[in-house]
């Protein structure tokens, strides 16, 4: 019988380290999480961590860049798909709340630690979330869909109108954003930008 062989699959220790790390980092912060915490959550010894990553710092960087890339790629996809500015904005806001709902720990971790890691992200709009948004708004200004102004400032305000409600939700001040909430945010953003 092959029972032994059939039992073997699904250790995937590396993936489980990443999951545990992101969850703990989001909850307690990088410095507030020890390698013992991570190893304990995974169910291995600390030594095992170093079979998969060269250092604690490398775990955080790896995990950040992976999540960050997911967000950047999602934004690029929306940008490519939606030609009308209104629809693009609506899709972007919907997308951001979707990934926040799907992976709250990952979203929180990226939100809270972005400034420690953003130095490793190039300013290229295909990989940098903020640059992508600046570009979208700049194009919309060129097309006359929103009024002219500093695209960096417009991007900051637009981003703030999404992230601050997201933060309010993560800290329990707002319930999980529903369709109506997203619509209210998009409406306000369009009014602010036009």
Partner DNA sequence: TGTACATCAGTGAACGCGCGTTCACTGATGTAC
- Where on the chain is the footprint of DNA (CB under 7 A)? 4, 8, 11, 13-14, 33-37, 43-52, 55-57
Find the helix or strand (DSSP H, E) in which 158 lies.
Answer: helix 151-170
**Smallest distance, Å, CB 155 to a copy of itself?**
8
Cα 98 to Cα 44, 101, 127, 152, 161: the distances in Å are: 32, 5, 20, 25, 16
Q: Counting contacts by CB under 8 A, is residue 162 touching a copy of itself?
A: yes
Instruction: Choose, by CB under 8 A, the member of 34, 45, 55, 188 that binds a copy of itself.
Output: 188
- Residue 56 binding partner per list DNA, a copy of itself, none, with a CB distance cut-off of 5 to 8 Å that depends on partner kind: DNA
**Smallest distance, Å, CB 96 to a copy of itself?**
13
Task: Name 129's Cβ contacts closer than 8 Å, sequence gap at least 6.
Answer: 68, 71, 72, 75
Instruction: Choose, by CB under 8 A, the member of 153, 176, 179, 186 that binds a copy of itself.
Output: 153
**Smallest distance, Å, CB 112 to a copy of itself?**
9
Q: Counting contacts by CB under 8 A, is residue 32 touching a copy of itself?
A: yes
**C-alpha–C-alpha distance, residues 65 and 46, integer Å:** 23
User: Two tokens at 100?
Assistant: 């926040």
Q: Counting contacts by CB under 8 A, is residue 13 touching a copy of itself?
A: no
- Residue 27 binding partner per list a copy of itself, DNA, none, with a CB distance cut-off of 5 to 8 Å that depends on partner kind: none
Contact status, residue 87 vs residue 44, Cβ threshold 8 Å: no
Contact status, residue 93 vs residue 185, Cβ threshold 8 Å: yes
- Residue 36 binding partner per list a copy of itself, DNA, none, with a CB distance cut-off of 5 to 8 Å that depends on partner kind: DNA
DSSP code of residue 1: -
Contact status, residue 94 vs residue 102, Cβ threshold 8 Å: no
- Residue 167 binding partner per list a copy of itself, DNA, none, with a CB distance cut-off of 5 to 8 Å that depends on partner kind: a copy of itself
């Amino acid at each position: 019988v092959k029972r032994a062989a059939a039992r073997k699959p699904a250790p995937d220790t590396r993936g489980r380290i990443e999951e545990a790390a992101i969850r703990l980092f989001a909850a307690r912060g990088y410095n507030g999480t020890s390698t013992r915490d991570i190893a304990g959550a995974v169910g291995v010894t600390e030594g095992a961590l170093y079979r998969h990553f060269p250092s604690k710092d490398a775990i955080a960087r790896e995990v950040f860049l992976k999540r960050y890339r997911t967000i950047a790629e999602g934004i690029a996809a929306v940008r490519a798909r939606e030609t009308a500015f209104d629809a693009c904005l609506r899709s972007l806001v919907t997308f951001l709340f979707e990934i926040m709902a799907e992976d709250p720990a990952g979203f929180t971790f990226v939100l809270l630690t972005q400034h420690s890691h953003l130095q490793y992200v190039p300013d290229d709009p295909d990989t940098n979330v903020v640059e992508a948004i600046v570009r979208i708004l700049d194009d919309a200004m060129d097309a006359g869909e929103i009024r002219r102004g500093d695209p960096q400032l417009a991007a900051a305000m637009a981003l703030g109108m999404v992230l601050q409600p997201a933060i309010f939700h993560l800290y329990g001040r707002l319930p999980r954003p529903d369709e109506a909430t997203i619509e209210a945010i998009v409406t306000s953003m369009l009014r602010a930008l036009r």
